Structure formats: structure tokens, C-alpha cells
Structure 1
Amino acid sequence: MVSFTMPGELIARTESAKRRRKPGKRSRTGCRTCRVRRIKCDEAPGSCRNCTSTGRACDGYDLHRFPIKRELCLPTLGMGAGGIMTSDEKRGFSYFQYRLVPDLVGFFDSWLWQKLVLQMCHSDPAVCHAVNMVSAIHQDAEERGMRLAGEDLQNPKHRFALEQAVRSFAHLQKRRASPDPQLREVVLVCCLLFVMAELLLGEFARAFIHLRSGTQILEESLRLGIPVIPCLSETLRVLNSQSSHVGDFESESGIQGEAENERDIETLDGFESLKVARQCFQRVMYRVIPFIATAWRLPQTEILANYATLWVKRQRLLYSLEHLAERFELFYQQEYATLNAKEQIGADIVRLQLVAKTIVLKTCLLDEYDYRLLTFEYSNLLSGYEKFMDRFPCRPTITLDYGLSFGLFAVASKCPDLGIRLQAVDALRRWPHYEGMINSNAGAGIAVEAIKLELHKMQKDDAERVSLMDQDPDMSFWEMIRRTQNGTQWPAVRDVELRVKETRQL
């Protein structure tokens, strides 16, 4: 007798068999092509046979994974460069989009980070791999409190980042002779991402190499009349000016273009928007920041020997800065209430920056000044910074824009009142972050050395104060600075070293 199985019984047996079947172990070490195709890879050395037998290009094997924190709970995206991304790269890109971009945007909207780079990630593999590199390094840097830790290839995040960097370079090399008009901007974006990665590692010498490459491409574009997306050129120029404070003295002259000079600022009657005000501020900073770096780096004998030339240049810059500050204050008082919440934050930052740069520029040479007035100005500046920081407990860990660290460092290292200086050091440590080339932990470490020197000079070596200062989150900071290429020639470090020499001669 033939027995028939009812459809319901057949379904039940099939489902029961599925439940009994042991799940196979999913390979996580297959080639990238097979992982994207979601098939089992035979993992043959060099190139897998799955790919070579079907005429596909085997994209090789990942040696290291992207070790993301589970608590971040970032969404993983399905699309990437050319539609091909491994699961690790999807997570890395998601980390960049949902964790790092908000930091980079900071207190100002940024078409560069909110639009351009994200769009390039979906169309260009070189940018996509560079983004993954930065994601891994930033995650590690944040865990370390944004210290200058250096590269450690025993660290799985650093190994993953290195692998992504190699892939990014390889894609750029393949396209060197390409007539693609977008290639120039792809290369500039990759330069920025590599600068960021090296800064997060504290590898300043390598960051300068990438920055100079981007600067040369930008200068060539200006000479040839090739347009460059403004947000790219502006970011490169900001980094170029800041580099004068961390030892890249070849960049002091800055990138010239569009006939920009002090007269452009001096003829301004007002600003039509915060965006225009920020652009004018940046144009003045391209000259002010390298000048301050030069003044801080020179010993007193050289300042005296070149005082007339330095004084004339300083007065010209000071005039432009004060004129800009007057115009901005008028804009601030008239338009602040009409700005949206984010624009008001940006306006507050620009206002604080103008005050800080003006104070530092006025006092960076050997002029005599009223110490009581100077203390009052620095105290007010620090108060403004602290109020601003109290409003934003969740602050960005990295931005490529001008921010507050320079002014806080100026208070911490230059104010005549040591108590106010200690408050500024504490503020720097409470907000560990990067502002382009400037690291807040580095600023705090240098300022502490300057304060110890002042206590020694005054023979008031307060044990309690010194013990508080020695609770530095990076105890090896000073040794690291001395190992860093040109570290001992950073203007702020040089300033402290010069004061040490002067003290020994007393």
C-alpha cells in the first residue's frame, strides 16, 4: 500500500530537519570578493580559485578586521565604493558617518564633511578606504583620551588602518594617468584624510608630508586656473597656517591666491552673513597665526635685532584684526538674535577667537604692558571659554577648523596670574581634542612646564600646586615631544626652552 504524506506533515518534517541541522561555521577569513558575493572561499594563497576559475579578479585577503565597539550600535550600510564593501568596511564607514562626521562638523555646518566626502565614499574606493583608516584610528585615539600616543602596529585598530591606507594608495596609483577631471579633488580629499590620521597618531612629520602634497596640488591648480572646490582649499589653508605652530616652518608663507591682502579686510563696512564673517576671519588668520609662531620661536636677541621689521608687520596685522573685530562686533550685536541656534554658537566662537588673537598679537613681542590690565583681559577671556564649554558637555573630539585651544593655551602659558593659568590648564584637560594641528593635551603639557618654570624663577615652588599639575593624563608627554621630529622647535616648546636657558643664566 502506498502511503501518502499530507502537505502539512511534509512541511513539519522539513522544518524539523532544518532545526536539527548544525549551522556551518561562517568563514571570516575569505577573500574580499567571495565575502562580498557571500559564498564560501577556498582561501587559496594569493588568489582564491573561486575567483580565478570564473574570470573574476580576486581582491585579496583582509589581514585585520575593524574592531568596533558593540555599544556604539551604529547602522551598517549596504552601499559603498562601486557597491563593493566588506562587512568591516561597512562598519567603518558607518562609524565615520554617524560618529566622526558630527565631530568634524563641530559648531559650523560643513559641506566638505556632510556632503562631499560622503558622496565620494560611494563612488571612489580610494576615499572609501581612507575613511575607514581614519575611523579605526579615531576610535583608538578617543579611547586614549586624544593623547599623542604614536603608531603601534601591535594595536589591531592601527593594523586595520594601515591595511586600508595601503589599499587607498593602491587605488590612487592606478589612476595617476587618468584624465578624470574629478581625480584632483579625490586626491585632495585623500590628502586631508591622511593628514587627519597622522595627527590622531601624533605623527606630525608624516602629517606634514601629506599636507605639503595637498598644498602643492592646490598651488598648481591656482597657477593653472583650475577651479578647486572652496571647502577643500579653505581647509588646506587653515591646516597650512596652523602647521607653523607644530614645526612645519616651510609653510609660513601660506597659500596665496585671489589677490587676498589686508586692504580687503580694511575696506569692509560690515558682514551680510556669519559665513562671510568667518571667511574674512580665516583670511586674517592665514597671516596672524604664522607671525605669532615666529615671534614665540625667536630668542630675545633675535627679536631685538629685527624689532623694527617685526613691529611694523605686527602693527599691520593688528590693524586688520582690530578692524575685523569692530565690524564683527557690530554684526554680532545687530544680527545675533536672528541667527539660528547653531549659527549663534559659531558667532560666539568667532568672537572669542578674535579676542584671544588680539591679546596674543599685542603681547608677542618685547613691548612693555600693564600686567594688571593684561591679567584682567586674560581672566575675562578664560571666563568666556568656561561659559562656552559649560553650555556643551558633549564637545567634538576633532575638527579641522580654528577653535578654542589656541586661546586657552595662551591664557595657560602667558597670563601673569598663575592661578588663572592653572584654571586654563584644567580647561584644556577637560576637553581633550584636536583643532587641526593643535592638540589640547599637548597645549596643557607645555603650559604646565612653563608654570613650573615660573614657580622656580619666583622661588615659590608651591608643593601642592606642582603635585596637582603632575597629574597629567600623559606623563610621558615631554619625552614624546623631544622624540617628535621638530618637536623641540615647536614655537610653544621653544618658548619654554628659551625661558629655561634664561633662568639658568640668572
Structure 2
Amino acid sequence: MTFLVPLATKKRQRAFAKRSRTGCRTCRHRRIKCDETPGQCRNCTSTGRHCEGYDTARKQWAPDPATTTASRGPGAPRLPRLAAGVHSSLTSAERQGIHYFQHCTIPTLVGFYDSALWEKLSLQISHAEPAVCHASIALSAVHRGFPLGGPLQKEWYHFAFEQLERSFRLLMRRRASQDPQFTNVVLLCCVMFVALEFMVGEYENAFRHLQGGLQILKHGKRQTYRGTSPFVEQCLVDTFACLDIQCAYFGSGDRVLCEGPEDSGFHHDVEDPPLWRFKSVHEARQALEPSTGDVIQFCGLRVTAGYKESPMPRQLEILTRLDRYLDALTEFRHEYADRLSPKDIKGVKLLELEALGARASLQVIPYFNCDPALDQYTDDFELLLSLSEAVLRENWDIPRVSMDIGVIPPLYLVAKRSEDYDLRWRAIQLLQSCPHQEGPWDAALLARIAIEIIRIEAVVALERKGSVAAAQFRQKPPAFGGFVMMSDDRRHFRVPFLVGKVEKHWCFDLDDQQSGVKSMPVPGESAAGWHRVIPSHLRFVE
């Protein structure tokens, strides 16, 4: 039975509204909405009030003191309880998602090196910011829904898409925010979107997200990139600087965070390359990134014939710098041998592998109309293989998906470029034996592409055998800027290549071993249903 309360005796109730946790102290005390202008908000300054500023704890996204320890063993980051902060309003499925993100996805994304972004910042911000929280749940759903070697399960796809939509809506709702820390929120969500798109194989979407984040950093002027901005976390800047290099290699434009000669390694004198003395693996990794970026930039310019003068001085300068780097890395390993953790030792080996791979990539690039004699680099390819085999042998627990770059690029280089077919097949077998992914580098897919390149070489040689010796026609280093293309269903692929001046397309299907030259017209790279995977760089000339 319902009792009606007379109007005269009803108590007036204030309309419920969540108290803002992001405004300045003055506005929060006055119980009004703050515009969150950096420094002092306009609500206070326009009315002559003294703005008491923002809570420092909020700016640093300090997690709740009550934490639980992840099941990753000693040294693992302490994780916030799910019942606190943003997590208190999550559904049961979402709480399971954030738990999976903390305990399973983060250890995977951390990969080969310690990461302040994944192990600290992502946990802190997802604890306080709903947009980041739902982005991390979406990422964990994709990670959890991908069985090894299989497609993404539908239920996880729909759940991830729902969480992505919520994250986007929350970001759009705050897009006009003057909160100086909102930039960190957007950039971290951007990194998570990139990682998610890499996992599902949507490379173009991933690079579009990445370009957006890079433009945000660039718009913040160079003080952001150089680490002097008070509003952008340095680990985010470091992550985007590393991803910027991958973005350039995969043909999504020039490096965004390298605006001119002063940001490039090209300004060093050949006679006086930099001298390094590392104190940590992190320092060694940061020192290598500019050189690997310069290698990719140099190779890209060679593909497009962008040099108007001889590239040899720049090529020699980068090679000299990489040699100095390898010497400094050796000194660091010897000096700190008794203080390096097992993960640090692994990191040093991977940095050595990356530097040697960059050096080999640079050496097999042609200049003008001269092609290097690839057989003289057989020893270099052998060294890359040996180091890769050692890393894989000593690290059986390599994560299935990682944002770090490790063994896949140097293995793919050997599988595609060596003139010793025994080395090429060893590299292919190593790629097949470690079906994991490093950013956009998918080991299983690249192994199949390398096999198809060998088949293309055999077909071209056979076609030419009647008139000219097959040995006179061989694969040349980057001279053709086409891209390996992938269909929407990620099953059909085509590899463009040039025979003389004639462009052809080699098509293959992941479901079977049938492949061959496509005789019918092939749609352009921008056609709907086809997406870029990796540069082809395949040309046969006389």
C-alpha cells in the first residue's frame, strides 16, 4: 500500500550531482563547475577571488594506498584495489577486464624492457580517469579474445568495441577541458588504441591513431619532445618517439618528432661522432633510437630518390655512429656485469641485435645506380641469426604480443636480403617457431611473405632463363616503394614487384599454399578492402 505525503510536509531535496574531483579547490568549496584553466581558473580570476589551485595528488594520479601485489613475482608493480576510484562503478565483466589488463595484458605489453608507461602510469591513470579505464578494458578484451593462431572471438570483439565507444565518448565530453593533465589522458588512450589495432592487424587504423598522438606532441612545440613540458609525462614522450620510427618505416609519412636537421643525427661530424657512457639499459635504449630513426629515414629517401647529392657522407656518418654505440654498449656490459638483472642482460642483447640490424640494413641500401654485393655481408647476416637464436633460446617466455621491438625485424631482414639461401631458410624457420608480434611486426605473417619472395625470385629467374642467365637477375635492395597488401579478412595478400619497368602482383592465401602472379587488373593500394602491411621493396633489374 502506498502512502501519499501531503505537499506541505514534503521536504525540498537538492538535485543530486556528482561532486567534481578535477576542479580547483576554490570552485570545489563553492560547489560550482570549474573550467580547469591551468594555473588559476577563470571562474576565480574573473570574480576577483583567489584560486587555490589544483590538488597535486590528482595531477600525479596517485593510486589508493591500499594496494594488492600482482602475481608476477618480486619487483612487480603494486596495483590499486578494484573497489576504489573509477573501478567502483564498473560492471562485473568490466572489473574482470581491468583485472586481466593489470595481471596479464600489462606483462605482455611491457615485453623486453621495463616500462614506466605500462607498469606505473597506465595503472595510476586508469585508476582515476574513466576514459583510460575503458580503453584498458577494451585492450584486455582483444588480448584475451585472441587464441594463439586464431581469429578474434566474436564475444570479445563486441565487448571490446563497446568499451572503445565508451572511452571515445568520455574523451569527447572533455575535449574542451583546460585541465593541463588532460593531454596525458588523451595520449595514453591513443597508445592503447594503437596497441589494440596492432593486435587485430588493422595497421592503417593504428598508424592513424599514432599520427594523431604525434601531432598532439608536435603541437605542444619542441619543449614537449625535449622533455621540458611540465604537462606531458616523459614516458609517454619516449613511447611516441619510439613508435614514430615504426610509423615512418611502415610508410605512414616522415618522422613527426624530427622536424629539422637539429633534431636529426645527420648534423654530427663524421670525424667526431658522439661519445656515450651508459649507466642503465634505459639510457642505452634512448641513445640508440635517433640512429635507428636516421637509418629508416635514410632508407626511405633512397626508395623515393630524394637525395640530390651523394648520400655516402650521411651513410658513413650513421655507420660510424652505430659502431661507436656498439663499443659503448660493450663497455657498459662489462662495467655493470655484476649489477645487471636477468632482464637487463636480455635488454643489452636486444639492443646489440637492434644496432647490428640497423647497421646491416644501411649497408645493403644502394646509392645511385650501384648495388652492393650482398654476398660480402653474409657474415653480418650470420651474426644476426646467431644473436636471434640465442635470444629465443634463452627466453622461451617471449610475450605473444609486445610493443617493444626485438628479434623479428633482423630475422626478416636476413630472410629477405641474404644471398645465402641456407641463412634465409634458417631465419624463416626462426620466425615460424616464435609466432608472436612486436608492434606491427607479425612473425608468422612475415615468414610467409619471405617464402613468397623466394618463390617470386624463382619464377622470375625461370622466365628469364631462355634469353639471359638467371644469375643476372636478382632481387635488389629498396628501389620500389610498393606495399604488401592485405584483404579485410586478413587471409588474402598480394606482393607488388617490378620486373624491369613492369609492375606485377604476386597473390597468396594464408589458408593454402597456392600462389602466383595475378593476371587480372589489381585495384590500387587505396582501394576499399585492401590495407597496407609492410613495404615490398622488391625489384628485378638486368
| TM-score (normalizing by structure 2) | 0.68
Residue 450 (structure 2) pairs with residue 454 (structure 1): no
Structure 1 segment 4-23 matched on structure 2, within 5 A: none
Query: More displaced, 107-116 or 430-439?
Result: 430-439
Query: More displaced, 412-421 or 256-265?
Result: 256-265
Q: Is the 8 A contact 1:134 1:161 kept in 2?
A: yes
Instruction: Decide which of 428, 433, 437 is 1:430's aligned counterpart.
Output: 433
1:50 counterpart residue number: none
1:338 counterpart residue number: 339
Structure 1 segment 110-189 matched on structure 2, within 5 A: 110-144=115-149, 155-189=154-188
Tell me the amino acid that sits aligned with residue 297 of structure 2.
P
1:230 counterpart residue number: 234
Tell me the amino acid that sits aligned with residue 143 of structure 2.
H
Structure 1 segment 51-450 matched on structure 2, within 5 A: 77-79=82-84, 81=86, 83-144=88-149, 155-223=154-222, 226-227=229-230, 228-248=232-252, 250-252=253-255, 254-256=257-259, 260-262=263-265, 263=268, 266-295=273-302, 297-298=303-304, 302=305, 306=307, 308-366=309-367, 367=370, 369=372, 371-450=374-453
Tell me the amino acid that sits aligned with residue 193 of structure 1.
M
* Closer/same/farther in 2, CA of residues 253 and 214 from structure 1, 3 Å limit: closer
Structure 1 residues 416-449: Cα deviation after superposition (integer angstroms, max 9, x where no partner): 1112111111211222222223222332232122
5+ long unaligned stretches in structure 2? 1-14, 19-70, 73-78, 466-489, 495-506, 511-522
CA distance in 2, matches of 1:140, 1:428: 23
Shift, 1:206, TM fit: 1.5
Shift, 1:269, TM fit: 4.2
Q: Report the secondary structure of 1:266's partner residue.
A: coil
2:492 counterpart residue number: 476
CA distance in 2, matches of 1:270, 1:55: 59
Shift, 1:236, TM fit: 0.9
Q: Report the secondary structure of 2:444's partner residue.
A: helix
* Closer/same/farther in 2, CA of residues 483 and 100 from structure 1, 3 Å limit: farther
1:19 counterpart residue number: none
Q: Is the 8 A contact 2:364 2:374 kept in 1?
A: no
Q: Is the 8 A contact 2:131 2:166 kept in 1?
A: yes
C-alpha RMSD over aligned residues? 3.3
CA distance in 1, matches of 2:260, 2:332: 27
Shift, 1:319, TM fit: 2.3
Shift, 1:242, TM fit: 0.5
5+ long unaligned stretches in structure 1? 1-53, 58-72, 462-473
Tell me the amino acid that sits aligned with residue 278 of structure 2.
F
Q: Is the 8 A contact 1:239 1:437 kept in 2?
A: no
Shift, 1:360, TM fit: 1.3
Q: How many residues align?
A: 406
Structure 1 residues 454-488: Cα deviation after superposition (integer angstroms, max 9, x where no partner): 33344499xxxxxxxxxxxx863446898975978
Q: Is the 8 A contact 1:237 1:286 kept in 2?
A: no
Tell me the amino acid that sits aligned with residue 349 of structure 2.
D
CA distance in 2, matches of 1:476, 1:310: 38
CA distance in 1, matches of 2:308, 2:145: 46
1:18 counterpart residue number: none
CA distance in 2, matches of 1:190, 1:489: 24
CA distance in 1, matches of 2:260, 2:280: 23
Q: Which has the higher contact order (CA 8 A, sep 6+)?
A: 1
* Closer/same/farther in 2, CA of residues 476 and 79 from structure 1, 3 Å limit: farther
Structure 1 residues 141-193: Cα deviation after superposition (integer angstroms, max 9, x where no partner): 34335xxx6xx8x8121111111011001111111122222111000000001
Q: Is the 8 A contact 1:270 1:327 kept in 2?
A: yes
CA distance in 1, matches of 2:223, 2:327: 37
Shift, 1:195, TM fit: 0.9
CA distance in 2, matches of 1:253, 1:180: 25
* Closer/same/farther in 2, CA of residues 258 and 417 from structure 1, 3 Å limit: closer
* Closer/same/farther in 2, CA of residues 401 and 293 from structure 1, 3 Å limit: farther
CA distance in 2, matches of 1:260, 1:224: 12
CA distance in 1, matches of 2:533, 2:255: 13
Tell me the amino acid that sits aligned with residue 213 of structure 2.
G
Structure 1 residues 372-402: Cα deviation after superposition (integer angstroms, max 9, x where no partner): 4312221221121012101111211222223
Tell me the amino acid that sits aligned with residue 288 of structure 1.
V
Higher strand share: 2
* Closer/same/farther in 2, CA of residues 403 and 290 from structure 1, 3 Å limit: farther
CA distance in 1, matches of 2:332, 2:116: 24
* Closer/same/farther in 2, CA of residues 311 and 141 from structure 1, 3 Å limit: farther
CA distance in 2, matches of 1:458, 1:220: 51
Q: Report the secondary structure of 1:328's partner residue.
A: helix
* Closer/same/farther in 2, CA of residues 289 and 320 from structure 1, 3 Å limit: same
Shift, 1:223, TM fit: 4.5
Tell me the amino acid that sits aligned with residue 292 of structure 1.
C
Shift, 1:274, TM fit: 2.1
CA distance in 2, matches of 1:117, 1:488: 30
Q: Is the 8 A contact 2:194 2:206 kept in 1?
A: yes
Q: Is the 8 A contact 2:82 2:88 kept in 1?
A: no
Q: Is the 8 A contact 1:321 1:358 kept in 2?
A: yes
Q: Is the 8 A contact 2:378 2:420 kept in 1?
A: yes
Shift, 1:241, TM fit: 1.0
Q: Is the 8 A contact 2:106 2:118 kept in 1?
A: yes
